[in-house]
Structures are given as C-alpha cells and as structure tokens.
Structure 1
Amino acid sequence: MTDLQWMRPVNVGLAAALALLGLEAGAQAPDDRLLQGRQAYEQHCSSCHAPPGQTSPEAPDLRRLDSFCRRLSEPALILRCRSDVDAYFVHSVREGKVRAGLVHMPPWKDRLDEATILAIRRYVETPAWSEVPGATPR
C-alpha cells in the first residue's frame, strides 16, 4: 500500500457526505440557495402551505417533515434520514398527492426542477425564516 492509498476510503466517504449536504464542487452558495428557495416557496407554495412561520389548515406544515431526523444523534443516520426525507419531498412535489381520487396537491414536475425543489426544502427547514436573505417580516 502506498503512503496515500489509505486515504482513498476517507476521501470517498467525505465526498459522499458532502454531496448529501449539497456542498459538492460547483454547488450554489447556501445563501443563494435559500434566497432561491424563499422566492420559489412564496411564488408556488405559500398559497396552500401558508406564509413562512405560519400553519395552514389546508396543507401540511412543511417544517415538520424531518422532525424524526432531528431526534437522531448518530451523524450517519442523520444524513441517511435527511436524504430519505429529501427524496420523499422531491417525489411528492414532482408527482403531487392524490388520495381516493382527490387531488390534494398538484404535480409540479413541469414547473419546478429538482434544484428548485431542493432549494424550497432547504428554505423550509431553515430554523429562522426571517434570517433568509431578502426575507421580509410578516
């Protein structure tokens, strides 16, 4: 084994963890993603899911999607849980929600790309919505 071969598993693991966090090379800066998420949420989501920080009787509170993940303490489990919630969120937004023949949420796959959907997700999970760049107090 050469001097640096032992680092390969570490580098691969670190790259995977950073990718899950959205920090891969060329990724949008966090503030830009949050601003994009805020704008997209206000334009496409807030009419049903309520303005930031408020609840709606018509639609679920999106801030609670990863409430189970927040109770975990093992970093690897937290990453996996958040990845699963992200996948569920993207699928739900893209495909919509139909139950017993009733449309509870329309599909957005023709209007929102995955990057925008994930930006909305990051914005929604931001603890202090008022700290997002460009946010206005309500």
Structure 2
Amino acid sequence: MLIKRLVVATALLASVGAVLAHGDVTPQVVDVSTLRPLGDGILDSNPYVGDKEAIRVGSSAYNQNCARCHGLEAISGGVSPDLRKLNDECATVNANKKKQCQVELDSYYRNSVLGGKVRDGRVYMPAFAGILSQEAIWAIKSYIETRKYE
C-alpha cells in the first residue's frame, strides 16, 4: 500500500513539473527598440526577412511567448503545430507563384497571432493583438524562418 502511494505521489509531482516547465503563460511584451519601426498599418508580409537583428529579437520574443506551446527553438513536442512546417509550405510551389504563396503564408501567420485560435469555444492560442507590436510579430516570424524542419 505504501509503494502504491509513493508511485501516485511521484506521478503527481512529475506532472506539476511538466505543467510549469515552460514558465508563465502571461503574454510578454517584447522590446523592439532596436528594430526599424514599421508604422501603424499592419503589413501583409514580413519586412524583416533575413534581418539579423530582427532574428535576434524574434528568438527572445518566441521563447517568451510561443515556446511554452510550440516548443523550444520552434521544435514542437506535438501539443501545438510545429511552426517550422510553415517554412516548407511554399517550397514546392513553382517560381511564378512562390511570392504570392509567401504573402498568403505571412498573412495567415499574422492573422493567427493577432486573432489567436479558438475552436468550439475553447482557446487553443490567445490573441496577441494589443500585446505584441507588428515589429515583434514579424521579428518572431523572421526567427521561425531560420528554423528548419527535419
């Protein structure tokens, strides 16, 4: 009986650690003061593609706001979509349609981050509108674009 209680207690302690492993679930504001300002209008596509400073800021912002669900270094543990797969969406499209595919993918990403994801009344991803600036959103996208799906 004592062994059974110890096993149950150990399992409960392990599950608490797993729940707290990715830290606070409160969205975090991102310091974008080192990035080129993008103005008030929300852009349709990522203006920071390949920008080293945006990738640096995006890495930090991703770890603060996205990693708890989408995985450390954008490597999903299977709970939420693996964002690295977004990088491959336009890879098989012919050259003539590649730019349009990228704009559509950027738009989908932007709208998902701003509006969140809700299904059947359940929040799967919080809306980051009013929390993350568009500079932060595009910096995170720039970071994700550096992560390759293997």
Whether the TM-score (by the shorter chain) exceeds 0.5 is yes
CA contact (8 A) 2:45 2:107 kept: no
Query: Which residue among 80, 89, 92 is the counterpart of 2:100?
Result: 80
1:47 aligns with 2:95: no
What does 1:86-101 align with in structure 2 at a 5 Å threshold? 86-101=106-121
Q: Distance in 1 between matches of 2:51 and 2:67?
A: 21
Percent of pairs identical after alignment?
Answer: 31
Contact map agreement 2:74 2:144 (CA 8 A) in 1: no
Amino acid at match of 1:34: I
Report the Cα distance in structure 1 between the residues aligned to 2:72 and 2:124, rounded to whole angstroms: 18
Show structure 1 runs of 4+ deviating over 3 A: none
Distance 1:114 1:45 in 2: 15
8 Å Cα contact 1:97/1:107 also seen in 2? yes
Structure 1, residues 48-73: CA drift from partner, whole Å, max 9, x if none?
11101522222100011242301123
Pairing partner for 2:140 from 95, 120, 125: 120
Q: Number of aligned residue pairs: give it.
A: 106
2:79 corresponds to 1:58: yes
8 Å CA contact 1:34–1:122 kept in 2: the answer is yes
Q: TM-score, normalised by structure 1?
A: 0.68
Distance 2:146 2:49 in 1: 16
Structure 1: runs of 5+ lacking an equivalent: 1-18, 129-138
Q: RMSD of aligned C-alpha atoms?
A: 2.5
Greater gyration radius:
2
Per the normalisation by structure 2, the TM-score is 0.63
- Compared CA separation, residues 100 and 117, structure 1 to 2 (3 A): same
Matched AA of 1:84: E
**Amino acid corresponding to residue 69 of structure 1 in structure 2:** C
Q: Distance in 1 between matches of 2:119 and 2:137?
A: 22
